[in-house]
Amino acid sequence: METRTFKVSYSPHIHNGSSTSKLMWNVTLALLPAAVISVYAFGLNSVRVLFLSTFFAIFFEALALLMRNRNWKQCFDGSAALTGFLLGLTLPPGVSNGIIILGSFVAIIVAKQVFGGLGSNPFNPALTGRVFLLIAFPVPMTTWPLPRGIEQAKQFMGLATTKVTDAVTAATPLAAIKEHAEKALPNISTSDLFFGLHTPGSIGEISAIALLVGGIYLLVRKIITWHIPVSAILTVFVIAMITHFINPAKYPHPFFHLFAGGLIIGAFFMATDYVTAPIWPMGKIIFGIGVGLLTIIIRLWGGYPEGISFAILIMNATTPLLDKYTVPSPFGSKTMRRPS
């Protein structure tokens, strides 16, 4: 017979052995397929970006912990590494080293440690770093080197590629649509977007299938719940379907919006951040719908080609309110009305 010892104390009595650090490393593991694809597509450049952003995120975390008189070894708990890794995945492969280091600085120091470290930050640190860089350096942050197989990529985009110094660059699918939808739309195939081997874009966003594999891993391991990703992606899908139905020449079909840009990495890996997302199921669904709505509105009618980072940051601001108003009522808590 199995014997188990129970502590005589308040619940919980049984612990499954999970910890913050294990969760963080699991999420990092789930991002690895996307990273591997990016190394295939962009070569050593993507290794450089990912290594620098992760290394300096951990470095700044240790620095901030030292300045706050905390145990600096906490910097290895995986949260800083995950923030740096996510930040690296949202950058274009050609950015300079200084920009990457500044992004890690903003993500860890300004967005996280200034507010009190892990668990206290109101906004997703990696996305704050990315948006800071996007506003600070608009040109390098929107210069997209082409992946391998330049010829296929040229055909794929169907657009004039410009030669900048020594790298060949092109617009991302979303940027191409934004500029002249009628010309670019027929040249983009959904399967290319799905596998992402010939698509210009941020390091981690190019391959939808790799991200989906990671996302499903997280769902299976119960690290995230389905609420936020499904509601966000479904919202984008439905609105894209309606607009595509109204004017197919101008608005791309819904699968384009699903697989292009950062919707999948954002919905699965960033909007579900434990610290900055709501905790109750209802709140998560409202949060996800908000992310989806803002994303597709910015994509279709906004000033930027891609809106997922802004959408998640804006919805992060609503998290305390959603947490307050969507608390589920416990079973049996409703007062029964007596039959009179």
Partner 1 sequence: MRAFKEFSKGFWRENPSLVLLLGMCPTLAVTTSAFNGLGMGLATTAVLIGSNIIISLIAGFIPKKVRIPAYIVVIATLVTLVDMFMAAYSPDLHSALGLFIPLIVVNCIILGRAEAFASRNNVIYSFLDGIGMGIGFAVTLFIVGSVREVLGNGTLTVFQYKETIIQYVIYHKEAVSPALVFILAPGAFITLGFLLALKNYIDNLLKAK
**Residues in the site for partner 1, rule: CB under 8 A?**
98, 102, 110, 114, 132, 135-140
Beta bridge pairs of residue 145: 169
Handedness of CA 291, 319, 313, 41 (dihedral sign): negative
Residue 36 vs 66, nearer CB to partner 1: 66
Tell me how far, at minimum, the Cβ of 137 lies from partner 1, in Å: 6
Residue 133 vs 184, nearer CB to partner 1: 133
Q: Could you tell me the two tokens for 169?
A: 């660059």
Tell me how far, at minimum, the Cβ of 100 lies from partner 1, in Å: 14
Tell me how far, at minimum, the Cβ of 94 lies from partner 1, in Å: 13
- The DSSP output letter for 167 is E
Furthest-apart CA atoms within the chain: distance in Å: 84
End-to-end CA distance of the chain: 54
Determine the Cα–Cα distance for residues 129 and 120; give it in Å rounded to an integer.
16
Residue 138 vs 149, nearer CB to partner 1: 138
Residue 66 vs 249, nearer CB to partner 1: 66
Residue 44 vs 67, nearer CB to partner 1: 67
Residue 25 vs 137, nearer CB to partner 1: 137
Tell me how far, at minimum, the Cβ of 141 lies from partner 1, in Å: 10
Tell me how far, at minimum, the Cβ of 136 lies from partner 1, in Å: 4
Tell me how far, at minimum, the Cβ of 31 lies from partner 1, in Å: 27
Separation in Å, CA 30 to CA 36, 68, 213: 11, 31, 8
CB 200 within 8 A of CB 152: no
Tell me how far, at minimum, the Cβ of 104 lies from partner 1, in Å: 14
- The secondary structure of 133-191 as a DSSP string is HHHH-TTGGG--B--S-HHHHHHHH-S--EEETTEEE---HHHHHHH-HHHHGGG--HH
Beta bridge pairs of residue 102: none
Residue 9 vs 69, nearer CB to partner 1: 69
CB 141 within 8 A of CB 133: yes
Determine the Cα–Cα distance for residues 331 and 340; give it in Å rounded to an integer.
24
Number of CB atoms found within 10 A of residue 114's CB = 12
Handedness of CA 211, 215, 221, 223 (dihedral sign): positive
Tell me how far, at minimum, the Cβ of 310 lies from partner 1, in Å: 13
Number of CB atoms found within 10 A of residue 170's CB = 24
Residue 139 vs 336, nearer CB to partner 1: 139
Residue 105 vs 156, nearer CB to partner 1: 105
Determine the Cα–Cα distance for residues 204 and 210; give it in Å rounded to an integer.
9
Tell me how far, at minimum, the Cβ of 135 lies from partner 1, in Å: 4
Q: How many residues does the chain have?
A: 340
